[in-house]
Structure 1
């Protein structure tokens, strides 16, 4: 278990803290040209000549989460909540990420609930936290655990519940090619882990108002 925690802790660091011999943009563009040739096309034909530049530019946006620190996202806590200590739930947070095994997209929605103890964070910060971890090479399971652990480290709430529902293109457009199949992952900490009734409440709140 300690090895799992250490591995997760390392993956939660912002990019600046992770030692890296990062290639230059020119090297990255050359790598894209190599992949185009390997796929069977000519990187120098008109339609592809600028593709390496576009891809490297897109990578900066698609994987922007590496440069972000999740703890900075959650660094402002509001303690004055007039004694509110019930569940805070933000559901249906959309996200787009990329599978670390095939580098193809997976996308869906995230739901986050917690019982505050020392205060709350702005609701938009929860969506921002999802974005930080989604914009990295990921597995859905790891992303779910990372979101929960970041909340635990920053807020120290009485309980945390995270659920992610996603479709994986590595399963839809390649391999078994089963479009529409959804993967669901959850992570419960604190009272949500200790009390099954709290899990039921979380799931009930998620489904309220939905067909």
Structure 2
């Protein structure tokens, strides 16, 4: 362990193998990284965190580029109850829930399967729920310039459930509205009514 510790203290952070950092972390919380059950934990942690934050390696334009279609349709499109999982950037604990995404086209639509993928691009990063909500809204706006976009995220945060206030049944709800969803009460109310339908 002494050799690893010296490496961590003296080398630039970018040159330290990721697994050595996780091994040091195990040591610092009072564990023995050399015991049988933890020998491969640094390797597993490296793979796990890479998967959980894979959104950093994804690009919105690449995800959407072959799924933008010219369509003569100008009514509301809603994809609701999209499950998402993210990591709180303050405590590196998960938060998870459902996203409800709506937009009103302005001559162009997004392939339906790309909406959940878009949610994943931003949720699979270190996040706060407020920014995540806004990023999804802005990405759709930039991609197809619709008449309006509406996003609602409902999530539970393990940083509130496992630590701190330890409230097990609280939900955090955030929203982002732009275009006609922001300026027209009737349109916004229609969206909210459709999202609530069927128990959502």
Same topology, TM > 0.5:
yes
1:6-155 pair list within 5 angstroms:
23=14, 27-75=17-65, 76-79=67-70, 81=71, 83-155=72-144
Q: Distance in 1 between matches of 2:88 and 2:80?
A: 23
Q: Report how far residue 118 of structure 1 moved.
A: 2.5
Q: Distance in 2 between matches of 1:98 and 1:185?
A: 16
Tell me if the contact between 1:164 and 1:185 (Cα under 8 Å) persists in the aligned partners.
Answer: yes
What is the number of residues matched between the two proteins? 188
Q: Which runs of 5+ in 1 are unaligned?
A: 1-20
Match of 1:11 in 2: none
Distance 1:135 1:47, change over 3 A: same
Tell me if the contact between 2:63 and 2:114 (Cα under 8 Å) persists in the aligned partners.
Answer: yes
Tell me if the contact between 1:167 and 1:181 (Cα under 8 Å) persists in the aligned partners.
Answer: yes
Instruction: Report which stretch shifted further, 29-38 or 180-189.
Output: 29-38
Tell me if the contact between 1:68 and 1:132 (Cα under 8 Å) persists in the aligned partners.
Answer: yes
Q: Distance in 2 between matches of 1:123 and 1:208?
A: 20
Give the CA RMSD over aligned residues: 1.5
Distance 1:120 1:143, change over 3 A: same
State the TM-score, normalizing by the size of structure 1.
0.86
Provide Cα deviations, 1:88-144, integer angstroms capped at 9, x if missing partner. 000000011000000000000001000001211111100000010111000000000
Q: Distance in 1 between matches of 2:98 and 2:52?
A: 17
Tell me if the contact between 1:71 and 1:150 (Cα under 8 Å) persists in the aligned partners.
Answer: no
Instruction: Give secondary structure in 2 for the equivalent of 1:184.
Output: strand
Q: Which runs of 5+ in 2 are unaligned?
A: 1-11
Q: Distance in 1 between matches of 2:13 and 2:24?
A: 18
Q: Distance in 1 between matches of 2:23 and 2:185?
A: 53
Instruction: Give secondary structure in 2 for the equivalent of 1:145.
Output: helix
Whether 1:177 and 2:166 are equivalent positions in the alignment is: yes
State the TM-score, normalizing by the size of structure 2.
0.90
Structure ID, larger Rg = 2
Tell me if the contact between 1:159 and 1:192 (Cα under 8 Å) persists in the aligned partners.
Answer: yes
Q: Distance in 2 between matches of 1:171 and 1:27?
A: 32
Q: Report how far residue 42 of structure 1 moved.
A: 0.5
